C-alpha cells in the first residue's frame, strides 16, 4: 500500500496562535498533535489534518504553496474574508488584477492564501479548502500522483493537479517558470505509512519515483525531498486525536 497524506504542516513562529487562526477560518476542531504540537482536524475522516510546528526561520519571498478557499456565494466569500481579517489576517498584493474575483490574504504568520469567488467549476465539490496550490513542475505533479496513488485530474500546458479517489482538496502545480527555492519551505507534506507496510520498501518505492532520502528525524521519521526539492516526511501514523 502507498503512503497516505496525513497532514499539511506549517512551520510557524507561533504555532498555537496560527492554529487558532486557521481553526477559526475553516471551522475545524483543534486537537493535540502527535508530538505535543498543535493541530486542527477536518470535519470528516477522508481529509488531512493541518499541523503547526515550531519554526524560527524568517519568511523570505512567497511560499511555494498556499490554500485556495472556496465560497458558496458572494456573501459567503465576504464572510470568510471578514472572519480572516477579524482573526488577524491581512490583505496583501501579489500582483493580482483588480478584475480578478479572488481575494488574496495572509495569515498572522505571513502565509499567503486566497478566498476564491463563488462559481469556480474547477474547485466545485472540493470542500472549504478547494486546493493546495503549489509552485512546481509537471514532473513533481506526476511524482505525487504516483507516490500517493491519486489520479491526475488536470494535465495541460505543464500544469497538473491531483485529487484523492475519495474527493476533497485538490493539489495543483502551476508549471514553469518555477521560482528558485530559498531555504526550508514553510509548508510541507507529512505522509503516514499504512499498517503492515514495510518502511524500507516504501522508502525504496518513493526513491525509485524520484524522491531523495535526506535523513531520519525523531521517532524514526523519514525525511525526504520530492523532485522539486520540497521537503516531506514519512512516519507511522499516530492515533487520531
Q: What is the pLDDT of residues 172-186, one digit of tens each?
A: 999 999 988 888 999
- 42 pLDDT band, cuts 50/70/90, is very high
Q: Decide if pLDDT at 46 tops 60.
A: yes
The C-alpha atoms of residue 74 and residue 142 are separated, in whole angstroms, by 35
Alpha carbon 135 to its chain centroid, in Å, reads: 12
Taking only the tens place, the pLDDT of each residue in 121-146 is 999 999 999 999 999 999 999 999 99
Q: Pseudo-torsion of CA 29, 74, 127, 190, nearest 10°? A: -70
Strand ranges (DSSP E) for 165-230? 170-173, 187-192, 212-216, 222-225
pTM listed for this prediction? 0.94
Q: Which residue has the higher pLDDT, 240 or 91?
A: 91
Closest CA to 143 of 177, 122, 182, 171: 171
CA of 100: how far to CAs of 52, 65, 168, in Å?
31, 20, 24
The pLDDT value recorded for residue 180 is: 85
Rg of the chain, C-alpha, whole Å: 17
The C-alpha atoms of residue 155 and residue 163 are separated, in whole angstroms, by 12
Amino acid at each position: 500500500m502507498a503512503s497516505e497524506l496525513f497532514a499539511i504542516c506549517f512551520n510557524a513562529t507561533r504555532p498555537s496562535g496560527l492554529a487558532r487562526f486557521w481553526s477559526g477560518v475553516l471551522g475545524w476542531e483543534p486537537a493535540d498533535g502527535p508530538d505535543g504540537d498543535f493541530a486542527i482536524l477536518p470535519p470528516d475522516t477522508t481529509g488531512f489534518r493541518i499541523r503547526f510546528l515550531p519554526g524560527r526561520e524568517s519568511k523570505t519571498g512567497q511560499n511555494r504553496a498556499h490554500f485556495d478557499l472556496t465560497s458558496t456565494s458572494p456573501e459567503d466569500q465576504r464572510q470568510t474574508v471578514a472572519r480572516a481579517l477579524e482573526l488577524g489576517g491581512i490583505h496583501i498584493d501579489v500582483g493580482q488584477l483588480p478584475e480578478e474575483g479572488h481575494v488574496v490574504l495572509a495569515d498572522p504568520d505571513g502565509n499567503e492564501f486566497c478566498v476564491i469567488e463563488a462559481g469556480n467549476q474547477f474547485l466545485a465539490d472540493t470542500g472549504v479548502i478547494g486546493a493546495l496550490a503549489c509552485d512546481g513542475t509537471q514532473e513533481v505533479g506526476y511524482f505525487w500522483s504516483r507516490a500517493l496513488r491519486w489520479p491526475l485530474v488536470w494535465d495541460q500546458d505543464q500544469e497538473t493537479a491531483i485529487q484523492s479517489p475519495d474527493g476533497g482538496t485538490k493539489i495543483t502545480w502551476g508549471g514553469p517558470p518555477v521560482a528558485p527555492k530559498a531555504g526550508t519551505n514553510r509548508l510541507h507534506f507529512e505522509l503516514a505509512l499504512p499498517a503492515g507496510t514495510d518502511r524500507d520498501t516504501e522508502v525504496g518505492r518513493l526513491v525509485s519515483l524520484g524522491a531523495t532520502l535526506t535523513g531520519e528525524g525523531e521517532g524514526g521519521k523519514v525525511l525526504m525531498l520530492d523532485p522539486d526539492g520540497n521537503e516531506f516526511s514519512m512516519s507511522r501514523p499516530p492515533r487520531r486525536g
